[in-house]
């Protein structure tokens, strides 16, 4: 289950620069004027996980396969985007299928970098984007309601769905996101949201794009953004997109040395991934053998058969048992043979709940 992240924000707040930095791929134009990005950018990025390489040192596989994340960067949204202003509204469909929204907010002053509204103001800038996303969802919902009103003449079972749609429309008309809808604890609501792919139903991470001096310490713009995030139950990560982009071609060692000299211990990609995994309740387990060492992304709380199904549906359908070694034990025992010899390889059945970092061998029969 690949994680997908959509990047949104006003024009010229550093979205494309951040995209280049996060994906380490210079395929998104970044320039000092609004609407530089006119087509959606997409990149598939490996998830950094040092544990993979520790396992590989023991197993010596032919290849290493990390988990991956898809990033989508769309044109900047402006006030009135839902009515056709700007370019970003044309590409909202590209982020409807994503799991998480990273909302980039400019949190630095620089008279040489144009701001679409004159100067940074996180509260105003966030409100503009959130309003346009709500209006985009509302427009989509209106079309769905029109279809339901026609279909219900022939299928009365759709009445409950229509009633839900009408209630949700009233809620969105108040400028509130789908994620805040109070009647959200029903299968009908969950199925409806899944079908509609509402943008405002998704988890949001705010990326405070700061200058070099703003990476640590007090920053009035970041303070405002953190207050906004707390009200919404969201997280904030500080990122200097310009510095991150400048480090794209550096080695991991050089990049880490620069970040540590600034008092920062994670690059922007790692910050965003960790927050995304936490917000969605995701974790990784590993398979390790001579052909490959591989990371697999699953939901926390999944059982062994569900985890096996990520590899192949046959693994879940014909699940027999799982041979499990915790990551730390695997490293300590220097591999599967050592763990077996120490009596630390555990055989688990269908009810076993997976732990982050489990090294697993599944047995199945179809």
Q: Is 203 in a helix, a strand, or coil?
A: strand
Q: Which fold has domain 3-279?
A: Rossmann fold (3.40.50)
Alpha-carbon distance of 138 to 121, in angstroms, equals 26
First-residue to last-residue Cα distance in the chain:
22
pTM for the full predicted model: 0.85
Name the strands in the sheet holding 359-364, side by side, starting at the edge strand that comes first in the sequence.
Answer: 63-65, 292-299, 282-288, 359-364, 319-325, 346-348
Residues of the chain with CATH 3.10.20.30: 301-364
Instruction: Report which secondary-structure segment, H or E, holds 163.
Output: helix 159-172
Residues of the chain with CATH 3.40.50.300: 3-279
Q: Which residues make up each annotated binding site for ATP?
A: 12-17
Q: How far is C-alpha 139 from the geometric centre of its chain's CA atoms?
A: 24
**CATH architecture for residues 301-364:** Roll (3.10)
Task: Tell me the pLDDT of the chain (366 aa) as tens digits.
Answer: 668 899 999 887 888 888 887 776 444 334 333 333 334 578 888 888 999 999 999 999 999 999 988 888 876 676 665 555 544 455 677 788 889 999 999 998 877 766 666 778 999 999 999 998 999 899 999 999 999 999 998 999 999 999 999 999 999 999 999 999 998 999 999 999 999 999 999 999 999 999 888 888 889 999 999 999 999 999 999 998 888 888 878 887 888 888 888 888 888 888 888 899 999 999 999 999 999 999 999 999 999 999 999 999 999 999 999 999 999 999 999 999 999 999 999 999 999 999 999 999 999 997
Q: Which residues make up each annotated binding site?
A: 12-17
């Amino acid at each position: 289950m690949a994680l997908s992240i959509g990047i949104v924000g006003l024009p010229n707040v550093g979205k494309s620069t951040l995209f280049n930095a996060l994906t380490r791929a210079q395929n998104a134009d970044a320039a000092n004027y609004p609407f530089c990005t006119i087509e959606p950018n997409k990149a598939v990025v490996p998830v950094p996980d040092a544990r993979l390489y520790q396992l590989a040192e023991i197993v010596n596989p032919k290849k290493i396969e990390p988990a991956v994340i898809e990033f989508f960067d769309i044109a900047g949204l402006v006030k009135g985007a839902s009515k056709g202003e700007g370019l970003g509204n044309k590409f909202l469909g590209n982020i409807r299928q994503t799991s998480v929204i990273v909302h980039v907010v400019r949190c630095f002053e620089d008279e040489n970098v144009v701001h679409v509204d004159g100067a940074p103001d996180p509260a105003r800038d966030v409100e503009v984007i959130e309003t346009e996303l709500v209006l985009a969802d509302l427009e989509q919902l209106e079309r769905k309601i029109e279809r339901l009103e026609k279909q219900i003449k022939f299928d009365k079972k759709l009445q409950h769905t229509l009633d839900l749609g009408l209630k949700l429309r009233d809620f969105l008309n108040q400028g509130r996101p789908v994620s805040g809808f109070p009647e959200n604890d029903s299968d009908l609501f969950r199925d409806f949201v899944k079908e509609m792919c509402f943008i405002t139903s998704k988890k949001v991470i705010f990326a405070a794009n700061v200058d070099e001096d703003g990476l640590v310490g007090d920053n009035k713009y970041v303070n405002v953004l953190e207050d906004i995030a707390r009200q919404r139950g969201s997280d904030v990560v500080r990122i200097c997109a310009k510095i991150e982009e400048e480090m794209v071609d550096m080695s991991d060692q050089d990049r880490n040395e620069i970040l540590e000299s600034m008092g920062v211990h994670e690059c922007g990609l790692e910050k965003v991934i960790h927050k995304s995994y936490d917000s969605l309740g995701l974790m990784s387990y590993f398979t390790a053998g001579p052909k490959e060492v591989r990371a697999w992304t699953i939901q926390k709380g999944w059982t062994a058969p569900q985890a096996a199904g990520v590899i192949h549906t046959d693994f879940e359908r014909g699940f027999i048992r799982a041979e499990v070694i915790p990551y730390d034990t695997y490293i300590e025992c220097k591999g599967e043979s050592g763990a077996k010899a120490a009596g630390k390889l555990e055989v688990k059945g269908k009810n076993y709940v997976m732990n982050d970092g489990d090294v697993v061998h599944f047995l199945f029969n179809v």
